[in-house]
Amino acid sequence: MRPSRGVVCRTLRASSPRRAETPAGPPPEVLSTAMRTVGELTPLHWVIYMLQSPWLGFAWDTSASLIVAGVTVVSAGLAAKFFRWE
C-alpha cells in the first residue's frame, strides 16, 4: 500500500534535508531508491536496527551490534591518530 502524495510531501517537508538521508527521518518506504541507498550507508541505519529489534520484541540484532561496534572502534582509532590538542 503506497502512501498518498500529500503524506509523502508533508513528511519530507517536515524533515530537514540531513534527516532525509538517514532512516531517522521519513520512513524508507516513501523515499526514492537513491535516498534509501544513501540512508542505508550511514552508521545511524545500523544503530536504528540495533535498537529497533528489542523494542519490537525480537531478538537482539547481533550483526547490527557488531557493525556499530566496528564503526565506533574505527572512528575512535582515527580520532586518536589524527586529533591533537594544540
CA atoms of 51 and 64, how far apart (whole Å): 9
**Whether residues 52 and 69 fall in one domain:** yes
Q: Give the pLDDT confidence of 45-83 residue by residue, as tens digits.
A: 888 888 888 888 888 889 989 999 999 999 999 999 998
Cell of 73: 572502534
Domain assignment of residue 13, given as a range: 1-41
**Whether residues 60 and 74 fall in one domain:** yes
**Whether residues 30 and 56 fall in one domain:** no
The number of folded domains in the chain is: 2
Model pTM score: 0.60
What 3 state SS string does the chain have? CCCCHHHHHHHHHHCCHHHHCCCCCCCHHHCCHHHHHHHHCCHHHHHHHHHHHHHCCCCCCHHHHHHHHHHHHHHHHHHHHHCCCC
The helix (run of H) or strand (run of E) holding residue 45 is helix 43-55
Q: Higher-confidence residue: 47 or 25?
A: 47
